Structure 1
Amino acid sequence: MLAAIERIGRDRRTGGYRRFAWNDADMELREWFAGEAAARGMACEEDGNGNQVAWLGAGASGGEGASGGEGADALLLGSHLDSVPDGGAYDGPLGVVSSFAALDQLRRDGFVPSRPIAVACFADEEGARFGVACAGSRLAAGTLAPEKALALTDVDGCTLAEVMRARGRDPRRVGRSAWLDRVGAFVELHVEQGRALVHSGDAVGVATAIWPHGRWRLDFSGRADHAGTTPMEDRRDPMPAYAATVVAATARAVDAQARATFGRVVVEPGGANAVPSRVSGWLDARAPDDGALARLIDTVLVDARAAAAQARVGLGVTVESASPAVGFDTALRERLAAVLAAPSLPTGAGHDAGVLSRVVPTAMLFVRNPTGVSHSPDEHADDADCAAGVDALATVVRELA
């Protein structure tokens, strides 16, 4: 299945993937997901937020499950298929294809589940196009306001509402998803984004928690001017203030054993021979606990304001997303760790499972990543470890269903 989608959204120059919400690659992947569901006799639905859910033992409209009844008892598996710019092949897709593969394995073994099972493909998990991570699952869970989501814009200035209309979707359907009320537990399999399993020597692990994290946009506003004729002392240049903030944030994160990353910057007007009028940078910040994250952001903003004052430029700060620490359901994760005889480990990465943990009992499985590299074309998992992940997920389904 990974080979079947290997070409979709792949950039020939970098080898990385550019599967952004509602672009051509995303639409092709949606067709692939629906086809895989149909091939297994699963009823597939797409909610108003673009999330796809394939049901085994329950119709998309809410039919009876294998247990003979309806209600909040379905076991949900799955992940996402979108990517960051030039992302890898495993972040997200491994969880989706492993869910289908686990169900295939169980079916070959003659396993009959005692509850409905569903496989989800969540929309826009990475937030690469509209800037808000896990938008699909946040909307489904009711933790992202529809009006805020629909007003988000991409780099071309197109709103999410406009893009959805262009793809034949009705923005009026955006909002909390009724299908989630039928889910009693969610288990997401994901490639590890780190090397904890390499060090422990295990192919599969169970997540304990997700670090708190968020995304802040810093807008430094100055005055455009000529690069050759304007003396340095007469400039109101936002670039030195931005650059000083990046350096300071890096030092602060090192001291706090946290994470601070400026991975995107927009310079206006963008001329090589012009002093910029505006520099906007996006800070991705993460820390081991909520207090540590709050302290990191406070110190970074103090540094940013001082740098802006020294450069005689303005500074505006916008919180684009903020997610508190997530501790996965203790009983569920301990049960899975025991049945799998797998180690437990935290993660600094955000996931749809972290969002859904606020509304349903949730757990995560990680598959070993030999280099620990992620969000890069070098992201990898060995075939044997992927197979171990499928076996583990099948064991989880047997245990829970």
Structure 2
Amino acid sequence: MSIDMLAVHDLGNRAVALLDELAAITDEPGRVTRLYLSPAHRRAADRMAEWMRERGLSVVEDAIGTVRGARAPDEAGPSANKRLLIGSHIDTVIDAGRYDGNLGVVAGLLVVEELARRGTKLPFGLEVLAFGDEEGVRFPTSLSSSAAVSGTYRPEWLDMADRDGVSLRKAIADFGGDPSRIREAAIPKDSVIGYVELHIEQGPVLEHKGDALGVVSSIAGQSRFRISVAGEAGHAGTVPMPLRRDAFAAFAELAVAIERLAREGTGNLVATIGRIELKPGAVNVIPASVEATLDIRAGADAPRLAAIDRIRHEAERIAGRRGVTIRFERFADAPTCPMDDSLQDLLAASVASLGEANRRLPSGAGHDAMAMARSFPSAMLFVRSKAGISHNPAEYSSPSDIGLAVEAMVRFVEKLAETHRA
């Protein structure tokens, strides 16, 4: 299939125009901040509904704030009672970029627009989803919107509150939703062909390899821990070095060991110490305690779990030699989420038809596709991110790369339609 690069560039420019308009909808003038169920989220959801209607979609907003635009099948047949889901999220982090999440929803709109323009008939329905709680910034939840759609929402989340003490239950009601009807947001498993999400990579791999697009093989499993190191405070000038039980020195040694073990690991293993606090925190006092966090991720479960065991072993060795205690408290754990093989292959074929390399790569970040994959066959397509920057105003993917990604999504839907006519 030939490629009309002018048409591809036009697709990218149309996407960017919509992204720019969304970026102007913010809770903080001068920067993009659109938290779940905030006033800006309300305005963005309303604008998204308008865009969906303009493209001929039938629009509803479910009980938890997900905007859903549906296109009916064009043909009778065995798949006429099924649908393909395309989506991502429209909430952001604080002081965000304009591509993360939003691109996936905008791409869904352009896929619908292009299918109509090209006169493409589908033997199944198509639904575009604009989720609202992927980032998990306002409330101590994440992926709750997509969890509701996949039927995996946890009711106890409703009692969680933001920093101002507003419960999720109240915020949903204030937004116009209905916490008592969240179960009704679930889509029956047997009615879904699959879910596909376009997303910026948020990492440097595609740029490093010189590829515009990549098919996601899996979403990394992750484990998070609180690390507590207990030593003994003492006078900075009077306690000899061999007699110290310095909690920070012990933690520093552990931190270096964690970095080394991550570098030695397999499966795209990464480990991050994101927060650290030491006490008593005086310039002339030996630190008595350290509290820190550890985030470990990998593209498969085995290397992540093996790394955790090795880190614990190193911690025991360091603690014994330095006369301190080191404890680990696991507070989050998610297994690796593989993407559906057949949908991956269709995405790869669509990318290859554009003359792009067949690049498969894991995602180190979490996405709505994780929640959707609990119930539906799911797939993701990554588009190249400049310098791998994300969650930052400098986040950028070029219009030409975005145009290629949207064109790949259109071709994916067309190829999927062919398989359901066979």
Same-fold call, TM cutoff 0.5 = yes
User: Partner residue of 2:171?
Assistant: 163
User: Partner residue of 2:220?
Assistant: 211
Aligned partner of 2:306: which letter? R
Q: What is the TM-score normalised by the length of structure 1?
A: 0.80
Of 46, 69, 74, 2:61 maps to 46
3-state SS of the aligned residue for 1:78?
Answer: strand
1:135 to partner: Cα distance: 2.5
Aligned partner of 2:50: which letter? G
Asked if the contact 1:244/1:304 (under 8 Å) is kept, the reply is no
Q: Distance in 1 between matches of 2:197 and 2:222?
A: 19
Of 3, 19, 23, 1:6 maps to 23
Q: Distance in 1 between matches of 2:290 and 2:46?
A: 39
1:159 to partner: Cα distance: 3.4
Aligned partner of 2:92: which letter? S
Is there any run of 5+ residues in structure 1 with no aligned partner, and where? 58-64
Q: CA distance change for structure 1 residues 123 and 6 in 2, over 3 Å: closer, same or farther?
A: closer
Aligned counterparts, 1:5-154, within 5 A = 5-9=22-26, 17-57=32-72, 65-68=73-76, 73-147=82-156, 149-154=157-162
Structure with larger Rg = 2
Q: CA distance change for structure 1 residues 291 and 25 in 2, over 3 Å: closer, same or farther?
A: same
Q: Distance in 1 between matches of 2:66 and 2:163?
A: 23
User: Partner residue of 1:319?
Assistant: 331
1:104 to partner: Cα distance: 1.3
Give yes or no for the alignment of 1:365 onto 2:374.
no
Give identity over the alignment, percent: 33
Q: Distance in 1 between matches of 2:315 and 2:63?
A: 39
Q: Residues 268-299 of structure 1, C-alpha deviation per residue, up to 9 Å, x if partnerless?
A: 99999999999764433201320111122334
3-state SS of the aligned residue for 1:125?
Answer: coil
Q: CA distance change for structure 1 residues 72 and 238 in 2, over 3 Å: closer, same or farther?
A: farther
1:144 to partner: Cα distance: 4.5
Q: Which has the higher helix share?
A: 2
Aligned partner of 1:324: which letter? P
Aligned partner of 1:137: which letter? S
User: Partner residue of 1:331?
Assistant: 342
Q: Residues 43-91 of structure 1, C-alpha deviation per residue, up to 9 Å, x if partnerless?
A: 222223332211112xxxxxxx433588761011111112233332211
User: Partner residue of 1:62?
Assistant: none
3-state SS of the aligned residue for 2:294?
Answer: strand
User: Partner residue of 1:61?
Assistant: none
Give yes or no for the alignment of 1:396 onto 2:405.
no
Give yes or no for the alignment of 1:260 onto 2:277.
no
3-state SS of the aligned residue for 2:106?
Answer: helix
Q: Distance in 2 between matches of 1:10 and 1:243?
A: 39
Q: Distance in 2 between matches of 1:241 and 1:51?
A: 47
Q: Distance in 1 between matches of 2:115 and 2:292?
A: 48
Q: CA distance change for structure 1 residues 362 and 155 in 2, over 3 Å: closer, same or farther?
A: same
1:317 to partner: Cα distance: 1.8
1:190 to partner: Cα distance: 1.0
Asked if the contact 2:57/2:71 (under 8 Å) is kept, the reply is yes
Asked if the contact 2:27/2:38 (under 8 Å) is kept, the reply is no
1:353 to partner: Cα distance: 1.7
Q: Distance in 2 between matches of 1:169 and 1:273?
A: 55
1:200 to partner: Cα distance: 4.2
Q: Distance in 2 between matches of 1:266 and 1:156?
A: 24
Q: Residues 65-122 of structure 1, C-alpha deviation per residue, up to 9 Å, x if partnerless?
A: 4335887610111111122333322111111111111221222222232221111112
Q: What is the TM-score normalised by the length of structure 2?
A: 0.76
3-state SS of the aligned residue for 2:274?
Answer: strand
Aligned partner of 1:358: which letter? R
User: Partner residue of 2:294?
Assistant: 283
Q: Distance in 1 between matches of 2:251 and 2:220?
A: 26
Q: CA distance change for structure 1 residues 277 and 128 in 2, over 3 Å: closer, same or farther?
A: farther
Q: Residues 130-187 of structure 1, C-alpha deviation per residue, up to 9 Å, x if partnerless?
A: 344322223432345222x223343444432243234343322334733354321111
Deviates more, 1:269-278 or 1:153-162: 269-278
Alpha-carbon RMSD across the aligned residues, in angstroms, is 3.9
Q: Distance in 2 between matches of 1:265 and 1:282?
A: 7
Asked if the contact 1:139/1:146 (under 8 Å) is kept, the reply is no
Asked if the contact 1:49/1:140 (under 8 Å) is kept, the reply is no
1:384 to partner: Cα distance: 0.9
Of 182, 192, 200, 1:183 maps to 192
1:332 to partner: Cα distance: 2.0
